[in-house]
């Protein structure tokens, strides 16, 4: 269904079992654009209703509700009765409405943007909760919504949040303006992360290039040396072509005797001491 106002055409949203909050916002804006919303909420208390506008409001609402509800609402003589009846049916009585509003407020208080989540995705969640509370009669002011947005940012955004709070008047700032600044900062840090990842990859590649060990003379990358070295003893002396060779041990320091030139498992002093202890034990028994 569509309604025309001058050169503009408005699609009439149809009410369903699950879309009442969004439906109410759309219908209100369209009726206000046609000048018939005042039949639901008069601009002045005690203002007399305009019969022509009331009939137009009736016709519009009956187009926007399912057919099975038209007969149920046909007994009402004022469009406000139709609107209030729909609101009561879909939002519940005041006690239920109050409970639902309290739940939504708690969700707003606990809502936090997760690490790695995009600003647009989080703003969609926040705006959705704000719309639901608005449909229940709780209107979030622009500055209050901005403060909730800034308080919900993760640590990665603390710098821009502090800058916004110190350099701008939150009372006069628009919500979309705050979102725009956060998105610009997000694009900046995402681009920086990509550059750092690229530089890190180049550094890792350079470290894995072939080099020659200054001690043993073997060539190869760090990664290759690590893979080749797993499972071999410290004193392995096998060359690339399978032949054995004598490794230069002049720089090797034994951690048992402290002298250079051999490994601890080949320490001659240690072997002599062990042999001496063995002889002494044999003499005792």
Q: pLDDT per residue over 215-273, tens digit each?
A: 555 554 443 443 344 444 444 444 444 444 456 666 677 766 777 777 667 777 766 66
Kindly tell me the sign of the dihedral angle through the C-alpha atoms of 265, 266, 269, 272.
positive
Return the pLDDT at 45. 67
Query: What pLDDT digit, counting tens, does each position of 137-174 carry?
Result: 788 889 899 999 999 999 999 999 999 999 998 888 99
Closest CA to 31 of 80, 99, 104: 80
Return the pLDDT at 119. 94
Long-range contacts of 130-133 (CB under 8 A, 24+ apart): 131/21, 131/22, 131/25, 132/21, 132/104, 133/101, 133/104, 133/105, 133/108
Residue 146 CB partners (closer than 8 Å, separation 6+): 170, 173, 175, 178
Contact 249, 263 (CB under 8 A): yes
Interatomic CA distance for residues 121 and 63, integer angstroms: 33
State the average pLDDT over residues 104-114.
Answer: 92
- What pTM does this model have? 0.46
Closest CA to 112 of 155, 83, 75, 69: 155
Q: Are strands 8-11 and 219-220 parallel, antiparallel or unpaired?
A: unpaired
Return the pLDDT at 157. 93
Interatomic CA distance for residues 198 and 191, integer angstroms: 11
Residue 192 CB partners (closer than 8 Å, separation 6+): none
Return the pLDDT at 145. 92
Interatomic CA distance for residues 60 and 12, integer angstroms: 8
Return the pLDDT at 276. 59
State the average pLDDT over residues 113-130.
Answer: 92
Return the pLDDT at 189. 87
Return the pLDDT at 91. 75
Report the chain's C-alpha Rg in angstroms.
Answer: 39
Of residues 250 and 42, more confidence is placed in 42
Confidence of residue 185 (pLDDT cuts 50, 70, 90): very high
Residue 131 CB partners (closer than 8 Å, separation 6+): 21, 22, 25
Taking the domains of the chain in order of start, what are their residue ranges?
Answer: 2-90, 118-199
Interatomic CA distance for residues 285 and 276, integer angstroms: 15
Query: What pLDDT digit, counting tens, does each position of 56-105 carry?
Result: 999 999 999 998 888 888 888 889 999 998 888 887 766 777 888 899 99
């Amino acid at each position: 269904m569509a309604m025309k106002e001058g050169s503009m055409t408005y699609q009439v949203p149809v009410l369903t079992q699950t879309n009442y909050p969004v439906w109410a916002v759309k219908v209100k804006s369209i009726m206000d654009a046609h000048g018939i919303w005042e039949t639901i909420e008069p601009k002045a208390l005690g203002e007399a209703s305009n019969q022509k506008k009331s009939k137009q409001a009736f016709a519009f609402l009956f187009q926007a509700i399912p057919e099975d509800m038209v007969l149920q609402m046909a007994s009402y003589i004022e469009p406000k009765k139709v609107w209030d009846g729909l609101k009561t049916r879909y939002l519940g009585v005041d006690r239920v409405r109050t409970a639902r509003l309290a739940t939504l407020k708690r969700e707003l208080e606990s809502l936090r943007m997760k690490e790695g989540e995009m600003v647009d995705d989080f703003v969609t969640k926040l705006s959705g909760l704000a719309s639901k509370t608005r449909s229940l009669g709780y209107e979030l002011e622009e500055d209050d919504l901005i403060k909730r947005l800034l308080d919900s940012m993760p640590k990665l955004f603390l710098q821009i949040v502090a800058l916004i709070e110190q350099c701008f008047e939150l009372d006069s700032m628009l919500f979309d303006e705050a979102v725009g600044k956060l998105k610009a900062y997000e694009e900046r840090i995402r681009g920086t992360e990509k550059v750092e990842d690229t530089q890190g990859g180049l550094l890792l590649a350079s470290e894995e290039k072939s080099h020659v060990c200054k001690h043993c003379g073997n060539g190869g990358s760090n990664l290759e040396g690590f893979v080749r070295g797993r499972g071999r003893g410290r004193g392995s002396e096998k060359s690339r072509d399978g032949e054995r060779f004598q490794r230069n041990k002049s720089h090797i320091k034994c951690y048992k005797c402290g002298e250079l030139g051999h490994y601890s498992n080949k320490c001659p002093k240690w072997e002599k001491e062990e042999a001496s202890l063995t002889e002494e034990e044999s003499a005792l028994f």
